[in-house]
Amino acid sequence: MKIPVRYCITGANATAIATSVESAIREARLRPGSALPTVRELARSLAVSPTTVAAAYRTLRTRGLVRAEGRRGTRVSPRPPLPTHVPAIVPAHLRNLADGNPDPSLLPRLRPVPGRRPRLYGEATNRADLLEQAARQLADDGLPRGPLAVVGGALDGIERVLQAHLRAGDRVAVEDPGYTGVLDLLHALGLVAEPVALDDAGPLPDDLARALRIGVEACIVTPRAQNPSGAAIDARRARELRAVLAERPDVLLVEDDHAGPVAGVAAVTLCQRRRRWAVVRSVSKSLGPDLRLAILLGDATTVARVEGRQLLGPGWVSHLLQGIVAGLWADRTTEARLRHAAHVYGARRHAFLAALAERGIAARGRSGLNVWVPVPEETSMVSALAEAGWAVRAGERYRLKSPPAIRVTVATLEPGEADALAAAIARGLRAEQRTASA
């Protein structure tokens, strides 16, 4: 007989109860998504007041360990901020289109930094040549001029920017569907995600206006290669969104340009004439995921706060990494390789979209490495594709209010494979229709 969850939880006060739940999560006795007892149920079990249990649950929510999900009750977060997350392992016999990685064969070959001497405390935290190269790239893309910082990847930069301005309980406008890493990060920081619908051209202006009216303190936007939908903001949508944002000049705007030059479309920014803003451009998709480095551009106050907090923690991003990135950017062959990668990703994306369209299947994937395919039921489609030899990602973790879909990472999907995968999806959709009509 399975022991009820309530018996994993002990404590006579709110702090002890919260600590008990945290320990159970860390030790995998409570797993992501597990339902916790109701406040009254746990209060009776522990012989404490409902107020005590409610305070414990409030502490756990603030720390991002649990979520209040209305009628579904309080549940362990899908990805709690504890060292318990084990990445899903795709079985070796399945074609892996689920992990979101770039194609390793399209990444520049990494080389050690020649003649490097040891860096010491008290020296400059960032390489001047790296900042100069980044400034030129960003200016060429039409981004506003501003101070630069070097951070440990896109999510590190986003987290530091949010912590520089927000506090637990603040609402943040996010794309829906949106990147799971951002959604999990917001929850871990005690911030509240406010979903904003999007189409192929990015966030819908009217829905963003609605989010601004209800009092969001920040807005996170992916200007291109949006994960999971592939949306990319075009010039017309950018003008519309800037007009909406102009009504709230105090709102923090964060742009997550994670794919950069391999996104397949030109960079567009909404940051002109903002008071609080930041653009985070990672090198993970273009140069390699193991290069945990991103350039942060923003207003003077935001960048100063980020760098100041960084100095109190890690101090700086390793000059080994900075040197490798600077060396790659200085290599004349790198730009050609990045253009080639963007072209290949675009060809693979378009081939898959065309194969789906031939079968009457609507999908989205204007830019980047992923295609978003709406389906009536995610679990059955993922299972059907696995039986056919394909591993894809169910869309549930990316969605807040948007309808079901699956995410297919097309970075390594050869055009010859696109037809076979589209055919498997079509078969899965027909099977779902037969089930629904039965």
| DSSP conformation letters of 367-402 | SSSEEEEE-S-HHHHHHHHHHTTEE-EESGGG-SSS
Instruction: Check if CATH label 1.10.10.10 holds for domain 5-76.
Output: yes
Query: Which residue bears the tokens 């920014």?
Result: 269
What six digits make up the tokens of 103? 């194609």
Predicted TM-score of the model (pTM)? 0.88
Phi, psi angles (nearest 5°) of residue 298: -170, -175
pLDDT over 60 at 7, yes or no: no
SS3 state of residue 94: coil
pLDDT band at residue 72 under the 50/70/90 scheme: confident
CA–CA separation, 211 and 220 (whole Å):
12
- The helix (run of H) or strand (run of E) holding residue 437 is helix 415-437
CA angle (222 as vertex; 219, 227 as ends), nearest 5: 120
Q: What is the pLDDT of residues 333-370, one digit of tens each?
A: 999 999 999 999 999 999 999 999 999 999 999 999 99
pLDDT of residue 348: 97
Do residues 82 and 25 lie in contact, with contact meaning Cβ atoms separated by under 8 Å? Answer: yes
Q: At residue 438, does pLDDT exceed 70?
A: no
pLDDT grade for 2, boundaries at 50, 70 and 90: very low
**Residues 6 or more apart from 298 whose CB is under 8 A from it?**
146, 147, 149, 161, 277, 278, 279, 306
Who has greater pLDDT, 72 or 133?
A: 133
CATH 3.40.640.10 residue ranges for the chain:
118-330
The residues with which 256 forms a beta bridge, in sequence order, are 280
d(CA 385, CA 374): 14
Percent of the residues in the chain that have a pLDDT greater than 70, as a whole number: 96
- Residue 67: its pLDDT value, please? 87
Tokens of 177: 């569907």
Give start-end residues of each CATH 1.10.10.10 domain in the chain.
5-76
What average pLDDT does the structure give for the chain?
Answer: 93
Q: What are phi and psi of 256, to 5 degrees?
A: -105, 90
Structure tokens given for 12: 């006579």
The 10s digit of each residue's pLDDT in 21-51 is 999 988 888 888 889 999 999 999 899 999 9
Banded model confidence at residue 4, pLDDT cuts 50, 70, 90 = low
The two tokens of residue 315 are 């101090």
Percent of the chain's residues with pLDDT above 90: 81
* Pair 57, 36: CB distance under 8 Å: yes
Write the DSSP symbol of residue 247. Answer: T
> What is the rounded CA–CA span in Å between residue 128 and residue 133?
9
| 144 vs 272: CA distance, rounded Å | 6
Closest CA to 12 of 58, 47, 54: 47
pLDDT of residue 118: 79
What are 252-303's pLDDT values in tens digits?
A: 999 999 999 999 999 999 999 899 999 999 999 999 999 999 999 999 999 9
Can you read off the two tokens belonging to residue 154?
A: 């896109």
- How large is the C-alpha radius of gyration of the chain? 23
Give the span between the Cα atoms of 150 and 83, in whole angstroms: 26
Which tokens in the block code for residue 432?
């779902």
Q: Does domain 118-330 have CATH number 1.10.10.10?
A: no
For residue 412, give the 3-state DSSP assignment: coil
Distance CA 154, CA 368 (A): 16
The pair of structure tokens assigned to 235 is 């010039």
Altogether, the residues listed in the chain come to a count of 438
Q: Which CATH superfamily is domain 95-103+335-437 in?
A: Aspartate Aminotransferase, domain 1 (3.90.1150.10)
CB-based burial of residue 381 (10 Å sphere; 0-12 exposed, 13-18 middle, 19+ buried)? buried
